[in-house]
């Protein structure tokens, strides 16, 4: 099963539209609020946001098929057991859902903005952490490290979910002609 991924970088008709300044301000706000909420609340909001997105996607034919394929396997029962035992749903159910897909789209649009350097120079960034000095970094975290890591993480999630959808299905034999377009990532983290 393959879900079709599309980037939506066009503003919705009759909306205020996004500017580089508004996209940057939204990102600064999200990062700034982290000083005022607990890690548990932030994670619960993200989990709630992904669940809200999952409910919305489940209303499509592709989402319904994905949900049915996962439900037909041991994945659903094991996932529900972990979810219940660790009480993940309790915290996430009371949290305000983060608009994860909109945030992703806004962040991608920000990375593609041609006037980003000019806008950054006009804004008071970064805000000071109200909690005092931060601890010394253990290792430098760079943007490219994050992007490559996020890409690898996302690929692993997609591959794992695709594989899990096949667990409840009868074995199919398929021959694919031609070379794979993207070389698989290998290493100790990626299997």
Rounded Cα distance, 79 and 47, in Å: 14
Query: What was the pLDDT predicted at 72?
Result: 85
Q: What is the pTM of this model?
A: 0.67
Rounded Cα distance, 58 and 131, in Å: 41
Residue of 1, 5, 3, 2 lying closest to 104 (CA atoms): 5
Sign of the torsion angle spanned by Cα atoms 94, 96, 97, 100: negative
Query: What was the pLDDT predicted at 128?
Result: 56
Query: What was the pLDDT predicted at 12?
Result: 59
DSSP-based three-state secondary structure for 145: helix
Q: Record the tokens describing residue 15, joined without a space.
A: 């909306």
Query: What was the pLDDT predicted at 42?
Result: 93
- Residue 119 DSSP class: H
Query: What was the pLDDT predicted at 73?
Result: 83
Contacts of residue 48, defined as CB under 8 A and 6 or more positions apart, other chains included, come to: 92, 93, 95, 96, 97, 98
DSSP-based three-state secondary structure for 148: helix
Query: What was the pLDDT predicted at 129?
Result: 53
Query: What was the pLDDT predicted at 54?
Result: 87
Residue of 160, 155, 135 lying closest to 1 (CA atoms): 160
pLDDT by 10s per residue, the chain, length 191: 444 544 444 555 666 678 899 899 899 889 988 888 999 999 989 889 989 988 988 888 988 888 888 888 888 888 888 988 998 888 888 888 888 888 888 888 888 888 999 999 988 765 555 555 656 666 665 666 666 666 666 877 888 788 878 877 776 655 555 545 444 545 554 44
Query: What was the pLDDT predicted at 115?
Result: 92
Query: What was the pLDDT predicted at 189?
Result: 47
In angstroms, what is the C-alpha Rg of the chain? 20
Q: Cα–Cα distances in Å, from 55 out to 16, 49, 66?
A: 27, 10, 12
């Amino acid at each position: 099963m393959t879900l079709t991924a599309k980037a939506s970088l066009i503003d919705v008709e009759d909306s205020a539209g996004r500017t580089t300044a508004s996209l940057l301000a939204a990102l600064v706000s999200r990062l700034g609020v982290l000083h005022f909420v607990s890690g548990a609340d932030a994670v619960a909001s993200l989990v709630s946001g992904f669940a809200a997105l999952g409910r919305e996607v489940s209303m499509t034919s592709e989402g319904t098929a994905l949900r049915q394929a996962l439900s037909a396997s041991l994945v659903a029962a094991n996932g529900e057991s972990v979810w219940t035992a660790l009480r993940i749903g309790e915290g996430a159910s009371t949290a305000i859902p983060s608009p994860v897909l909109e945030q992703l789209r806004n962040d991608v649009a920000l990375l593609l903005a041609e006037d980003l350097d000019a806008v950054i120079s006009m804004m008071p960034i970064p805000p000071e952490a109200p909690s005092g000095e931060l601890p010394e970094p253990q290792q430098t975290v760079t943007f490219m490290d994050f992007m490559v890591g996020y890409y690898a993480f996302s690929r692993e999630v997609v591959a794992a979910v695709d594989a899990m959808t096949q667990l409840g299905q009868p074995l199919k034999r398929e021959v694919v002609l031609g070379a794979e377009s993207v070389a698989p990532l290998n290493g100790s983290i990626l299997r």
